């Protein structure tokens, strides 16, 4: 009886409120998808890593050009990609938590495109301050990290803690203000789990790099061996 009632409810919802693609607003066959296959196919995927300082593409096997950066940047696409930007906006600012599986699959496809050898890496999400997480209801980076860890059979570790409730970086346009805003905003939650590890550090976007740089600073100071910062989009 419960199953029949749920089916009837879903049919009624589809009639009264047809599921629409978040990007193109066309009808969807399944309201759980949130975005149509045509729009997903429009995303321009990168197939290399990048230098986080100058954003230069790093061909397979090439070492980073700015050695003092301390990490590699792995970005699915660019933030000016309209489909990617739209999905991130709904996910991060409109609280579409159920977009996480779609975005997680996008990240996994990019990892496969780059042929990254990540068998011995651990997955670490960039944390939110506990107050910000209560306001949003979830940490978008952690949701993505969980999907990646599960699908690639890697261990997820909450190695970082956000100790300062900083202003949202999106509200600060000046690079120096962004840097000072997040200065010393992280600490190591479990230093023993960092030492000697190869880490995939997960966040949603990479704009000025200030947040990621601060997170990398803590991981490196606690003995992280190699770090790849994985994001959906870079500016």
Per-residue pLDDT tens for 11-48? Answer: 444 444 678 999 999 998 877 789 999 999 999 999 99
Q: Residue 62: which pLDDT band, with cuts at 50, 70 and 90?
A: low
Residue 36: other Cβ atoms inside 10 A: 20
Distance CA 220, CA 226 (A): 8
**pTM score of the predicted model:** 0.88
Regarding predicted confidence, which is higher, 110 or 9?
Answer: 110
Q: Give the tokens for residue 116.
A: 């990254």
DSSP 166-232: PPPGGG--SHHHHHHHHTT-EEES-GGGTTT-EEEEE-SEESSSHHHHHHHHHHHHTT--EEEEEEE
Residue 27 DSSP symbol: B
Q: Residue 159: which pLDDT band, with cuts at 50, 70 and 90?
A: very high
Residue 30 phi/psi, 5-degree rounding, is -135, 120
Question: What does the pLDDT look like over 165-220, one tens digit per residue?
Answer: 877 787 677 677 888 888 999 999 989 999 999 999 999 999 999 999 999 999 99
Predicted confidence at residue 12, as pLDDT, reads 43
Question: What does the pLDDT look like over 116-131, one tens digit per residue?
Answer: 889 999 999 999 999 9
Q: Which of 209, 198, 203 is nearest to 235 (CA)?
A: 209
């Amino acid at each position: 009886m419960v199953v029949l009632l749920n089916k009837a409810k879903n049919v009624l919802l589809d009639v009264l409120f047809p599921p629409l693609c978040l990007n193109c607003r066309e009808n969807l066959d399944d309201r759980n998808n949130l975005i149509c296959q045509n729009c997903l196919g429009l995303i321009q995927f990168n197939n290399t890593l990048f230098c986080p300082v100058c954003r230069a593409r790093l061909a397979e096997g090439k070492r980073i050009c700015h050695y003092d950066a301390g990490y590699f940047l792995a970005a699915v696409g660019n933030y000016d990609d309209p489909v990617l930007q739209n999905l991130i906006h709904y996910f991060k600012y409109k609280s579409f938590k159920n977009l996480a599986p779609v975005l997680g699959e996008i990240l996994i496809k990019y990892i496969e495109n780059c042929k990254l050898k990540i068998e011995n890496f651990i997955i670490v999400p960039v944390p939110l301050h506990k107050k910000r997480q209560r306001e949003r209801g979830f940490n978008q980076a952690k949701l993505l990290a969980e999907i990646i860890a599960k699908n690639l059979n890697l261990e997820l570790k909450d190695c970082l803690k956000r100790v300062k409730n900083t202003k949202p970086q999106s509200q600060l346009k000046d690079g120096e203000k962004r840097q000072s805003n997040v200065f010393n905003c992280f600490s190591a939650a479990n230093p023993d789990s960092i030492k000697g590890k190869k880490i995939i550090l997960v966040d949603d976007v990479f704009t000025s790099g200030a947040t990621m740089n601060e997170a990398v600073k803590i991981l490196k100071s606690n003995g992280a061996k190699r770090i790849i910062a994985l994001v959906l989009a870079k500016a």
